[in-house]
Amino acid sequence: MEKVVIVTGANSGIGLALCERLLTEDSQLRLCLACRNMQRAEAARSALLTSHIDAHIDLLHLDVGSVQSVLNAAQEIKSRYSRIDFLYLNAGIMPNPQVDVRAFFKGLFSRNVINMFATAEGLLTQQDRLNSDGLQEVFATNLFGHFLLIRELEPLLCQSGHTTRVVWTSSSNARRSAFSIDDIQHRNGTEPYSSSKYASDMISVALNRHKNSQGLFSSVICPGLVMTNLTYGILPSFFWTLIMPIMWLIRIFTNTFTLTPYNGAEALHWLFLQKPESLDPRAKYHSLTSGLGTNYTQPRQMDIDGEMSEVLFSKLLELEKVVRRKLNERNSEDKRGLQMRYFR
C-alpha cells in the first residue's frame, strides 16, 4: 500500500529538497505538496516529475497563516485520503529581520562566530504584525496553523492499528529565553521566530504525551544553517556573496553548517526511515554535515519544561475555540451581507 506523505511549504528550499529525497527513497509514495503559492507549487511539481516521471504528486492550496485556509485544506485532505502516514510541518516565516550590524561584526571576529551563525542569538530581531484573523503572523504561520491542521486531521492521523508520523521543522534558534507562557503569541517581544519555534518544540512533546496511545508520534528536527529564502532575506545578497567563503571555511570546523537545502533535509529524510518507537520524544534531531561533506543525523535533548508544554497545549485548545467562534461569526455576517444585497 502506498504511503501518503504531506509536506507543507514544499515548493522551495528544505521542503522541496525533502520531497526530492523522499521520492528517491520510495517512488511509490503518494506525495502532497501543500503550499500557499500554487504557481510555485506547480513549478515544484514539474521539477520533481522531471527526475521522477512516474511519481504520484498532488497539489494542495494551504496558507497555514490563515485559519480559513487551514480548515479548507483539511477538508480537502479528508476527501482525498483515507489515512496519512507522514505529515511534515515545514512551512514557516521570519518577517522583516533586522540585523544588529555592530553585533554581527563583533561576533564575526570572535570565538562566538559559529554559535552566532548557527543560532542568530543576539543578532536578529523581527517586526511582527497581526494577520486577518487577529493573530500574530509568525505565531499563526509557524505554530498555530499547523496545530489547527493537526486538530482537523485527527480522524486520519489517529486511526486504530495505524501509525502516523508528524515532523516539525524547528530551529537551533528555538530558545526558551525568547518564549513566555504569558505571551504565547509574542506580542510584546522582538524575537517571534525564536518564540514560535520553541513553542513548536513544546507542542511536539505534548502531542506525544496525548496521542502516542492513538498511533500519532511527533518529532522535531533542526536543519542546521541552510541557505534558503529565509536566510537570504536577513542580509543583502551582495553581503552573502562576500561572506560565503568564510562560511565554507567555518564549515570545516563545525557540523551545523549544512548550507544546502539537500543537506538540511537530512534529519527529515532520516526520520522517514525510522520506527517511531525507537525515537526519543524529547529529542530534537539535527541535520549535520561533516567538513568532508558527509551528512548524518544526531539527536540532542531539548530544554523543555513538561508542565509548561501542557499549559501551552491547553492554551492553544482554548485559542482554537475562540478563533473558530470568531470565524463562524464573521462568515455569518458575510452571508447576511450578501443576502441583504441580493434582496435590495
Amino acid found at 335: K
Instruction: Please report the pLDDT score of residue 258 as a whole number.
Output: 77
C-alpha 289/C-alpha 293 separation (Å) is: 6
Enumerate residues 6+ apart whose C-beta is below 8 A from 53.
none
Which pLDDT tens digit goes with each residue over 302-340?
999 999 999 999 999 999 999 999 998 888 766 656 555
The residue-averaged pLDDT of 182-211 equals: 96
pTM of the model: 0.87
Among 64-78, 124-138, 262-276, which stretch is predicted with the lowest mean pLDDT? 124-138
pLDDT greater than 80 at residue 26: yes
CB 89 within 8 A of CB 169: yes
CB 175 within 8 A of CB 112: no
Instruction: Please report the pLDDT score of residue 81 as a whole number.
Output: 97
Instruction: Please report the pLDDT score of residue 167 as a whole number.
Output: 98
Among left, alpha and beta (phi > 0; psi -120 to 50; other), residue 246 is alpha
- Which of 88, 193, 198, 285 is the catalytic position? 193
Known catalytic membership, residue 232? no
What residues pair up with 34 in beta bridges, in sequence order? 8, 60
Instruction: Please report the pLDDT score of residue 239 as a whole number.
Output: 58
Q: What does each C-alpha distance from 206 to 200, 203, 342 come to in angstroms? A: 10, 5, 48
Q: What is the DSSP letter of 136?
A: B
Instruction: Please report the pLDDT score of residue 340 as a whole number.
Output: 57
Instruction: Please report the pLDDT score of residue 105 as a whole number.
Output: 58
Of 145, 158, 172, the residue nearest 267 (C-alpha): 172
Neighbours of 75 (CB within 10 A): 12
pLDDT confidence tier of residue 271, bands split at 50, 70 and 90: very high
Amino acid found at 147: F
Q: What is the DSSP string of 273-342?
A: TS-GGGS-TTEEEEEEE-TT--EEEEEEE----HHHHHHHHHHHHHHHHHHHHHHHHHHHHHHHHHHHHH
Which pLDDT tens digit goes with each residue over 83-125?
999 999 999 998 766 665 565 656 565 666 555 555 555 556 6
